[in-house]
Amino acid sequence: MNPNPRKVVIIGAGIAGLCAAVYARKCGYAVTVLEQHERPGGLATSWQRGAYTFEACLHWLLGSNLHDPMHALWREVFDIDRLHFVYPEEWIRVESEDGNSLSIYSNLERLEAELLRHAPQDEAPIHQFMHAVRSLSHCPLPSLSSAWQDRLTTGLQLLRHMPLLQNLSHITAEDYGKRFNDSLLRGFFGEGENAQLAVVALVFALAWVSNRNAGYPIGGSDAVIGPIAQNLQQLGGVLRTGSSVKQILVEDDTAVSVQLDDGERIDADWVVSAADGHTTVYNMLDGRYVGPRMAHVYRTYKPFPSFLQVSLGVARDLSQQCGYVMRLLDTPFTLDPQTVLHQIAFRLFHYDPTFAPAGKTAVTCTLPTRNVGYWSRLSEHDPQGYEAEKQRVANAVIAIFDKSTPGVREAIEVVDVSTPATVVRCTRNWQGSMEGWLLTPQTGVRPLPPTLPGLRRFLMIGQWVMPGGGLPSGLITARRAVRRMCRKDGIAFVPDEHEKSPNAAGGFPA
Ligand SMILES: Cc1cc2nc3c(=O)[nH]c(=O)nc-3n(C[C@H](O)[C@H](O)[C@H](O)COP(=O)(O)OP(=O)(O)OC[C@H]3O[C@@H](n4cnc5c(N)ncnc54)[C@H](O)[C@@H]3O)c2cc1C
């Protein structure tokens, strides 16, 4: 071990910051991760209320399939093989209030048959859609291997899929859905804010689900974050929670240290920001290293919306229902003064026994909004009004749930509501965004550069440099960044296989 290792300071202990810390430690750097919140995880989190655990993030983890290259990457930062993944046969059910429903199966033959049975009038666009899903289920992710032969092979395979990828990257999910006459099928492609995502993301999701490469890990986010944080500790990295970075200090256009809110200064050979992109660029660095490209990005790219989450502890076994239900509403629901929703989705975690006692079910409902100002103002200046609004939203969600599951209202024993103010407080993400930059026809799938023009020894990672966000964006951007660091420092990048590490709990309280 080098007695004078180079020092890396990483801002933020979300998935990106933690993965970067593990890689950097493995390559011999002295690592300190600074996290403003009291726990690691960032958006990848859940919290406990009574006997229930409410998950905020994970629907699925890309790389759950043992034979996928992404699985091997996860192994580099934690022992993914200790996770138990579930693969629901019925992935999503879309329901209307008149009792009509459409099942989105993970098996593509069964799915195609269901779509054709349900909407024979949409036969042509159904075939087109299924062709796209089948094709992309054979499409590799860009290779992260350092061997040029691997990169060439993957590049050639990718080339074959380019026309389809281009095509699907240039249309939003909402616009794609308009090809279908059937209202439930259109509903599956979404409406409003989240449906501004390029449809390629949805097609990939379904392709990965069908390949059994996007399973849900029992234990949710904590089952991933806990072991990575423990791995970091075992490798000798330092994770400091409750440590908020105010400024990145620069000398001679080189990042040399960070300053915390309380004035403490920590020097480093490299500063890596895995925190919110906007705050990093415009506050921590005072906007001095933006450059025209990033200025354009921050002016024109759209972040994912923020969200409220209504979480319900239900003293009832709901395992006869689909685990993910999208409900199309006859009467639109006014979430806040700028947000009207025409559909809402429920997650029934009956497939995760760690989230509720036997015979009971943790249920969550995520409600997207861009009106962060409204919720933050209420939370800060009108606590009574804030509580009243949370209650109103919870009541409305319970009423909708009770309509589809008669009598469930009486079985609800825990109600919890988090808002965009909670997301901002716990993650500091710009506009309370749930996943960084929305992957849109404008952004395309290419990541943004990890550097800022003119600034040396500084790197950015995570969802703000990889449109579309998600846990894999944290892993991939972290790996690339540390590889780059190693190259600059003449150090071998050795991301050897996993260390065995036990599970741990985390959380993001509402
Ligand atoms: C409802 C929902 C569903 C999702 N579903 C999935 C899914 O199924 N699969 C999937 O892969 N992904 C999913 N995601 C997305 C995923 O959670 C995020 O994209 C990912 O966790 C982002 O990781 P990150 O490390 O880039 O950023 P973050 O998680 O935002 O981490 C940034 C960290 O930096 C810290 N920080 C910020 N400012 C400072 C500062 N000044 N000083 C110190 N620390 C600071 C924050 O507190 C935070 O911990 C979902 C997200 C949501 C909200």
36 lines ligand 1 (CB under 6 A): yes
12 lines ligand 1 (CB under 6 A): yes
Ligand 1: nearest atom to the Cα of 40? 49
Measured at the CA of 202, the angle between CA 196 and CA 208, to 5 degrees, comes to 160
Cα dist from 146 to 26, 142, 165, 279, whole Å: 17, 12, 24, 32
One-letter amino acid of 337: P
The beta-strand segments (E) located in 161-274 are 214-217, 238-240, 245-251, 254-260, 265-267, 270-273
442 lines ligand 1 (CB under 6 A): no
> What tokens appear for 157 in the block?
């395979």
Calculate how far, in angstroms, residue 41's C-alpha sits from the geometric centre of ligand 1: 7
Ligand 1: nearest atom to the Cα of 16? 25
460 lines ligand 1 (CB under 6 A): no
Q: Are strands 30-34 and 238-240 parallel, antiparallel or unpaired?
A: parallel
pLDDT of residue 139: 79
56 lines ligand 1 (CB under 6 A): yes
Calculate how far, in angstroms, residue 271's C-alpha sits from the geometric centre of ligand 1: 19
11 lines ligand 1 (CB under 6 A): yes
Give, for all 510 residues of the chain, the pLDDT tens digit: 577 899 999 999 999 999 999 999 999 999 999 999 999 999 999 999 999 999 999 999 999 999 998 999 999 999 999 999 999 999 999 999 999 999 999 999 999 999 999 999 999 999 999 999 999 988 777 666 666 666 677 777 777 778 888 889 899 999 999 999 999 999 999 887 778 889 999 999 999 999 999 999 999 999 999 999 999 999 999 999 999 999 999 999 999 999 999 999 999 999 999 999 999 999 999 999 999 999 999 999 999 999 999 999 999 999 999 999 999 999 999 999 999 999 999 999 999 999 999 999 999 999 999 999 999 999 999 999 999 999 999 999 999 999 999 999 999 999 999 999 999 999 999 999 999 999 888 887 788 999 999 999 999 999 999 999 999 999 999 999 999 999 999 999 988 744 433 333 333 333
- Contact between 40 and 13 (Cβ < 8 Å): yes
Domains of the chain: 7-48+59-66+71-80+218-302+439-489 (3.50.50.60), 98-211 (no CATH), 306-427 (no CATH)
Ligand 1: nearest atom to the Cα of 434? 53
Calculate how far, in angstroms, residue 505's C-alpha sits from the geometric centre of ligand 1: 16
H-run or E-run covering 115: helix 108-118
pLDDT of residue 148: 64
pLDDT of residue 158: 73
Query: Which SS3 state, helix, strand or coil, does residue 416 take?
Result: strand
Query: Which SS3 state, helix, strand or coil, does residue 412 take?
Result: strand
pLDDT in tens, 415-474: 999 999 999 999 999 999 999 999 888 887 788 999 999 999 999 999 999 999 999 999
> What tokens appear for 391 in the block?
């209650």
- Contact between 470 and 463 (Cβ < 8 Å): yes
- Contact between 174 and 190 (Cβ < 8 Å): yes
The overall longest dimension of the chain from CA atoms, in Å, is 71
Cα dist from 122 to 115, 131, 179, 331, 466, whole Å: 8, 14, 8, 26, 34
247 lines ligand 1 (CB under 6 A): no
Q: Whose CA is nearest to atom 31 of ligand 1?
A: 14
Q: Whose CA is nearest to atom 51 of ligand 1?
A: 57
13 lines ligand 1 (CB under 6 A): yes
One-letter amino acid of 228: I
Which of 435, 448, 466 is the best mutation target for the ligand 1 pocket, counting ligand atoms within 8 Å of the beta carbon and taking the most? 435
H-run or E-run covering 186: helix 183-188
R_g of the chain, CA atoms, integer Å: 23
406-414 long-range Cβ contacts below 8 angstroms, 24+ apart: 408/314, 408/316, 408/318, 411/314, 411/315, 411/316, 412/312, 412/313, 412/314, 412/315, 413/50, 413/313, 413/314, 413/315, 414/49, 414/50, 414/51, 414/52, 414/311, 414/312, 414/313
39 lines ligand 1 (CB under 6 A): no
Ligand 1: nearest atom to the Cα of 275? 34
